[in-house]
Amino acid sequence: MKNTGVPGKILCILMLILHRSSQQVFNDEKTLILPKNYQIGWMANLNDEKLVTELTIPGTHDSLALHGGPAAECQAWSLEDQLNAGIRYFDLRVSGDNLKVVHGPISQHITFDQVLNGINNFLSLHPTETVLVRVKHNKVFPNHVITKLEQNTNSWVKNTIPKIKEVRGKIVFVQKKTFTLGLPLYETDKKGDYKVKNIEKKEETIFAHLNEALEKCKHETAVLNYSSGTGWPLLKLDKTPKNVAKKINPWLYNYLIGAFEKNLKSCFGIIAMDFPGFDLIQMVINFNK
């Protein structure tokens, strides 16, 4: 990564402060509109020798949960739009032998193979990038698919941590329970942390997790944080994933600005979000500059 020097850093901080109130930190619009001259391939200038686990990576939780009504929907943008906006970590829940993407029992009208094809198409256009994928099957992940992924040269399936130069243009898989390919994973979330009874308590939980990530980052594991959440019990529609994100995303953006102003050198690992706006995603990316 090129060193832009202290003046550039100060200018960036001042711009963030001045525009803090007008940023798009929450998004439920279906269409992504990118700024002119926006560089989709934000990883292009990263130091080749850096480990993937040293990055702060914007991600989405239940990445393709676009259907099913207020209690099920966690995102608004398509796979392609999320990639173009800067998302580099995808959380997929799949079901059955055909590996259809689901959120709980609800089909999201896309399959695991279609998602991989979409990501590979993106990487063919933007070969400087790498995309992390975590996949969770509701039963047992089919062995023949595991074998196919192991033989795919466009995928990183080793349990060792790669340098960025080793995985440009590739999908990097992240382990989860029965899916044992790719990077080992450390999740800061504890059991039940996704349940939101009160927003202030959720903010405290995310704050604790992000601080834990600062300590864990760079170790021999990928570190994953969630800012997502849903009301409990599930029928509390005032705390659907979308309504939680409307309140949490501005808080998260301001927290990250504060951390950026303090010039923190460490990384936060992966931050998986619901309904992130374009500027929140860019704020996460800023920690790699």
What is the structure's pLDDT at 18? 46
Confidence check: pLDDT of 162 > 70: yes
Q: How far is CA 233 from CA 48, 138, 196, 202, 238, in A?
A: 46, 22, 9, 15, 11
Q: What are phi and psi of 226, to 5 degrees?
A: -120, 135
What is the mean pLDDT of the segment spanning 96-114? 95
5-288: CATH topology: TIM Barrel (3.20.20)
Q: What mean pLDDT is reported for the chain?
A: 90
- 60 vs 23 pLDDT, higher one: 60
What is the structure's pLDDT at 220? 84
pLDDT band at 1 (very low <50, low <70, confident <90, very high): very low
What is the mean pLDDT of the segment spanning 119-133? 98
pTM of the model: 0.92
3-state per-residue secondary structure call for 5-23? HHHHHHHHHHHHHHCHHHC
Residue given tokens 């994928």 in the structure block? 133
| CA 136 from centre of chain | 15
Confidence check: pLDDT of 242 > 80: yes
E strands, 41-178, are 57-60, 89-95, 100-103, 106-111, 131-137, 155-156, 171-174
The least confident of 16-20, 200-204, 258-262 is 16-20
Question: Could you tell me the two tokens for 46?
Answer: 């990263």
What is the structure's pLDDT at 140? 87
CA–CA gap between residue 158 and residue 236 (Å, rounded): 42
3-state per-residue secondary structure call for 208-254? HHHHHHHHHCCCCCEEEEECCCEECCCCCHHHCHHHHHHHHHHHHHH
Confidence check: pLDDT of 164 > 90: yes
What is the structure's pLDDT at 2? 44
What is the structure's pLDDT at 197? 87
What is the structure's pLDDT at 4? 45
What is the mean pLDDT of the segment spanning 218-235? 85
Confidence check: pLDDT of 3 > 70: no
Which tens digits make up the pLDDT trace of 165-206?
999 999 999 998 778 999 999 999 998 898 898 899 999 999
pLDDT band at 61 (very low <50, low <70, confident <90, very high): very high
Residues pairing with 107 in the sheet: 102
Closest CA to 205 of 238, 223, 228: 228
Residue given tokens 């940023």 in the structure block? 23
Domain ranges of the chain: 5-288
- 141 vs 278 pLDDT, higher one: 278
Residue given tokens 């676009």 in the structure block? 66
- 23 vs 186 pLDDT, higher one: 186
Instruction: Give the other-Cβ count within 10 Å of 1's Cβ.
Output: 13
What is the mean pLDDT of the segment spanning 63-79? 96
Asked if residue 79 lies in contact with residue 88, where contact means CB atoms within 8 angstroms, the answer is no
pLDDT band at 237 (very low <50, low <70, confident <90, very high): low
DSSP letter assigned to residue 131? E
Confidence check: pLDDT of 157 > 80: yes
Closest CA to 130 of 76, 179, 173: 173
Residue 14, CB-side half-sphere exposure with 13 Å CA sphere: 6
Confidence check: pLDDT of 13 > 70: no
